[in-house]
Amino acid sequence: MTSPEHDNRNRDFLRGLYLASFGGDVEAFPKAMANDFEAHVPPLLPWGGVHRGPDEFVNVVLPQLAVAIDFGSMRLDSISAAGDHVAALLNARTALGTDIWIAEHWLIRDDKLQRLRVFYDDTRSLESLPAPTAS
């Protein structure tokens, strides 16, 4: 059983990370990730699969996501928590200019991000984007 205080703390913790990230703090999420963090991304996407650790998230997932999603258009629509589980609903524009809804389910323990599962409402505009070239 969870308490309202625990729920609120986790909800506010994650909301703070989104706000910091939207404000330009590119380190907000990686700094909050546990060493054994896992990101589960739909496998049909070019950056899909299970990614382990903050470094893999930053070096594999984010560059490809940045090609597909206009981060400047991303908005947090709602956020809710039940214990260590926090769900966020976001909306953004893809690189092709289409609107997309994104649901993120986070597992937070001891003020650290443990796991992320991402869900996209329509991936067709993301699937055909080219992978970024190595710099």
**Mind listing the pLDDT tens digit for each residue in 9-23?**
999 999 999 999 999
| Residue 22, domain CATH | 3.10.450.50
The boundaries of the domain holding residue 78 are 4-122
CA 112, CA 16: separation in Å to the nearest integer?
13
Q: How far apart are CA 93 and CA 102, in angstroms?
A: 10
Domain-embedded: residue 129: no
**Nearest by Cα to 115 from 44, 47, 57:** 57
Q: Given pLDDT bands bounded at 50, 70 and 90, which one contains residue 60?
A: very high
The per-residue pLDDT for range 80-135, each reduced to its tens digit, is 999 999 999 999 999 889 999 999 999 999 999 999 999 988 766 555 555 555 55
Examine residue 128 and state whether it is found in any structural domain, yes or no: no
Arithmetic mean of pLDDT, 65-75: 92
Quote the CA–CA distance of 111 and 3 in Å, as a whole number: 16
Number of structural domains (the chain) is 1
